Chains A and B, each alone.
Chain A
Amino acid sequence: MSHAAAHEGPVSLAEGNVRLRAGGGAIGTVLIAAGVVAAVATFAVGIGQGNFKHALAAYHIGAMSSLAVCLGAMFWVMAFHLVMSGWSVSIRRQFENAMVLVPVIGVLAVAGIAADVFFMHGQLLTWMNGAVRQGDSLYEEKAAWLNPVRWGLFALLYLFIWVYLSQRLWWYSTEQDRTGAPRLSNKARFTSAWGMPIFGLSLTFAAFDWLMSVDYRWFSTMWGVYYFAGAALSGMAAMILVLAAVRRSGRLSGAVTNEHLHDMSKLVFGFVVFWAYIGFGQYFLIWYSNIPEETSFMLARKTEGWNALSTFLVWGHFAVPWYILLWKFVRRSWALMTIVCAWVMVLEVADMYWIIRPMVYGGTGVHLDMWWLDLLGIVGVPLILAGLLVRKAHAGPLMPLKDPRLPEALHHRNYV
């Protein structure tokens, strides 16, 4: 209605509002360098101490958490295109920035475990370890799937799918920045339509290959959904953090407002619940049927030391954020949502830690005496991702300036 619109001033699309200060990306280079140093140091220390397995696990926790952010961002870009969402146009470029980093983060995520599979005789991915799998009929039944040739080819396939989809969607968006052709929005939507199922399947099987196969005896059909839930959640949380930082530097004023934050926070809230829902669903069925090869995973994490982390995840990853996000004033406050989203990101790392780390020493013991190696390994890839995101944000306009649905985003309001 004309009166509502009359209350809002025009949003500035001048360079000073939609582009970050040139040369401000230097901090990104510092972060990347720090991440590379941390990753290299992790492996150097790990191999030097004869504990490649622990170093790889720590690195892999950080890498899979970072990959979750990129894949989560990719999911949201495709979801926005699929539903022709207007409100999200002014926030979409940040998601695209994270999505298009999938080649780097994906290769980093797979490089560590690929080295383990092909050169280190499966210290972490024990299905490659002759001493462990010898005479194990559980392995022999799965050998058609868990072998280095199939594993390596499929890793290349997943990466190819993600790189192809992300580059294609990125090209449509940046080409539209240049030409302003509205049909590029339709093409992006078409790509998302056939891309979404392929994306879903590749993410599911990558989660099988790269996370679940750490314990080759164990299996869960919910596993892909579990990783996806964390990815969609941490992708959205990370982008709220990025947009909060961009807004602090005085950019996107009027273009990304509390109304956009409110909707992003609702999605964070939704996926906090979704994660708990399918996480409990996975646990519940295993608990009920009580079959030894299924319960081994939960048994290691629900007895003695690891039980503390499991309990912490239930409260920290679900109950506490759920209760806090019930309040509308939290969902509409950039300061409070920054805290909540940082917490959610930390808990996503804790979730990966909960999945990977108990496999390092087996049994139910926690072995925290090398905690500094955990810390060093975990920060590696996330620092690289953060640095790349900072540089990406400085490299172009902060939103798709010629998207035909941009006016809808600039006048977005929640009528609540």
Chain B
Amino acid sequence: MKTALWNSPTDRYMNVITVENLTKKFGSFTAVDNISFEVGKGEIFGFLGANGAGKTTAMRMLCGLLKPTSGKGIVAGYDIRSESENVKASIGYMSQKFALYEDLKVWENIRLYAGIYGVPEKDIAPKTDELLKELGFEGEKETLVKSLPLGWRQKLAFSVSIFHEPKVVFLDEPTGGVDPVTRRQFWEMIYKASDKGITVFVTTHYMDEAEYCNRVSIMVDGRIDALDSPANLKKEFNATSMDEVFRKLARKSKNNEL
């Protein structure tokens, strides 16, 4: 798998994310240890791991927020090390922490990010209305984001992150603290985005959500210990659920929190 990656030029276009031997060290601590994988267009790629396994660090490198210590990464056709600003223009990102402006209204947040990503101004307002209608948020257009309930905020943050139709969207624990009904709706939104051809790269702690992904990678102590579709992983580890797969793998961790 690794050898073929960089030899064939077409791989760079078929795969939206290609990572080879990516490593990040903070001093003597290796947060991400030599990981390699690829993600295809429109795929929903689950990125699993216990707290501190290195998921967020890996994701931040792919988004151009962190410089890798060594290894290569291509996201949306751009090198994450040398072309990080181009990477940023082609991706969407939704962080663990809610990061829309709470003192701006719903439409103002959408307008701000749409403008920054270069959506033509004449398209912003009609697209905003369309989006709010789709979300059932028409009544909240003028609401300050700080007065929205958490689940709504997360849905809004996700919509904002894909408003400019990026090639990939990175979601860092998007459903943390959200109720099951909203989580379900959230995943419906993820499927819709994937149907539009947007690649979804998602980290999560919820194993039921892992089942919704096309493929899942499981990180333990900075390494990727397993990577396959949920069905194959269950077969391989002789487990009935992703939860069991995860437990079996996480048990190997040196800094076990489970």
- A and B pair up: no
